[in-house]
Amino acid sequence: MHEMSLAEGVLQIVEDTARREGGGRVSVVVLEIGQLAAVVPEALSFCFDAVTRGSIAEGARLEMIALPGEGYCMRCERTVPLQSPVDACPRCGSGQVQLTQGNEMRVKEMQIEPEAPDERRVAAR
């Protein structure tokens, strides 16, 4: 199940970003996933819940935005919808279609809660 390694990669991005931004707990993670990326959303959600246990993203809501498959037909010189990365052009039937969207997966955005102030530091002031 490659969704586990994808979830681990997402967690790494989330932790690195939260650390860089100086934030605390992550409450929402939004992913863009191409419909041709061979990712099963339910499996990814399950794996994300598993890998985030004990991390700053534990309990975070995972939102997934599906991106449709698209390609550029060399013959028609147009962008066309694709249901598979090896589809022929639905307009002219040409096999000269280059995939332009639909196989990607990326962290689009995330919500980081402000880090709670350290009570000892506040008391020492």
Give the pLDDT score at 116: 62
Query: Over the stretch 40-82, which tens digit does the pLDDT of each residue have?
Result: 999 999 999 999 999 999 999 999 999 999 999 999 999 999 9
Task: For 17-114, list the strands marked E by DSSP.
Answer: 26-34, 61-67, 69-73, 78-82, 97-101, 105-112
* CATH architecture group of domain 2-69+102-115: 2-Layer Sandwich (3.30)
Query: Over the stretch 17-43, which tens digit does the pLDDT of each residue have?
Result: 999 988 889 999 999 999 999 999 999
Domain ranges of the chain: 2-69+102-115
Answer whether residue 125 shows pLDDT above 70: no
Query: In this structure, what is the dihedral angle of CA atoms 84, 85, 88, 90, given to the nearest 10 degrees?
Result: 50
**What is residue 78's three-state secondary structure?**
strand
More confident residue, 115 or 19: 19
Answer whether residue 120 shows pLDDT above 60: no
